[in-house]
Structure 1
Amino acid sequence: MRSRLSQRIEQEQGNNIDLSPLLDVVFILLIFFIVTTVFVKETGIEVDKPKAVSSERLERNVILLAISASGEVMYDGANIGVSGVRATIAHALAKQKKALVIQADKNTSAQLLVDVIDQAKLAGASQINIATKRGS
C-alpha cells in the first residue's frame, strides 16, 4: 500500500493546468495588434486655427504640417522651416499619394502660408488643405 505522501503528490500533479496554449494565443494577439496598428504623425505643436463655416472632415491618412504664430513650420515634432517643406513632402509622397493638411495659426502671415503651399506644390502635392475650426 502506498503512503499518504505519495498519494498526495500524485493528486497535486494531476491538478495542474497547462498554460502554454493560453500564452501562445496571447502572443499571437499581441503580434496581430502591433502589426495592424496605424501610427499617426502629429505636428508637435498646438495652433489656434481660424474659423470657417465651410469646413469639412478629411480622411485620417494625411500629411500634417503646422505653422505656428511665430513662423515655425513643424512636421512630426521638428522645425523644418520653409526650406525643408519641399524635401519633407516629396519624401512623404514617395511612399503613397496623400492629401496635405496645413494647420496654420490664425496669426500666421499670408506670405508664409503661400510660401509653404508653393513648396508643397513643387514637391508634388496635388491636394492641399488648410485646417480650420468649425464655426458659424
Structure 2
Amino acid sequence: MKRRESLGVDLTPVIDVVFILLIFFIVTSVFKKEELALVLDLPKSSAKESEVSKDDIFIELSPTKLAIKGIEVSFESLEDNLKEVKDKTKPLIVRIDEKVEYKRVVKVLDLLQKYDLNNLALITEKEEPRN
C-alpha cells in the first residue's frame, strides 16, 4: 500500500522574496536623505539645529560650483529657478562651504533679495563641545 504524503506549501521562496524586499527598502531609505549635489565643509556653530523638511529649497555654494535642488547650475540658471518660486514664504536652505569667497555669497544673497525670498536658513555643522 502506498501512502500519500500531504503536499504543503514551500515557504522558502516567499521568505527569500520578503527578505530581498526588506533589504531593498532599508537601503533606499538610508541613501535618500537630502537631495544634495555638492560635498561641502560647512562652518561650525554652537547654535541649535533647525528643522528641515523635504519641501524646502536647497541652495548649495562651493568655491567653484553652485547647485539648487540637488542640480548643479550657473548663476543665470539659479536666477531662472528663483523666478519660478511661487510661495515667497517657502524656506530656502542655504549651505555654503567655509572656503567660499564672500563676493560669491553676496551674489547669491542679492539674487534672493531681488526675488523677495527672505525666509532663509544658513546651515552649519554642529560644533563639538570641548572638555
Interval of TM-score (by shorter of Structure 1 and Structure 2): 0.5 to 0.7
Q: CA deviation at 1:125?
A: 1.1
> Which sections of structure 2, spanning at least 5 residues, go unmatched?
1-31
Which has the higher Rg, Structure 1 or Structure 2? 1
Q: Which has the higher helix share?
A: 1
Relative distance call for 1:129 and 1:95 in structure 2 (3 A) is: closer
Give the distance between the partners of 2:90 and 2:34, measured in 1 at CA.
13
Q: Is the 8 A contact 2:42 2:124 kept in 1?
A: yes
Aligned equivalents of 2:79, 2:59: Cα separation in 1: 12
Measure how far apart 1:55 and its partner are. Answer: 4.1
Identical-residue share of aligned pairs (%): 16
Contact kept in structure 2, 1:85 and 1:120, CA below 8 Å: no
Q: Secondary structure at the match of 1:94?
A: coil
After superposition, the C-alpha distances for 1:45-84 in whole angstroms (9 at most, x for unaligned) are 21111111124222314100111132x1112343222222
Once residues 55 and 41 of structure 1 are traced to their aligned partners in structure 2, the CA distance between those partners, rounded to angstroms, is: 20
Q: Does 1:109 align with 2:106?
A: no
CA–CA distance in 2 between the matches of 1:42 and 1:116? 19
SS of structure 2 residue aligned to 1:49: coil
Distance (Å, rounded) in 2 between the aligned partners of 1:59 and 1:43:
13
Say if 2:63 is the partner of 1:66: no
**Residues 65, 96 of structure 1: CA spacing in aligned structure 2 closer, same or farther, 3 A cutoff?**
same
Letter in 2 for 1:115: K
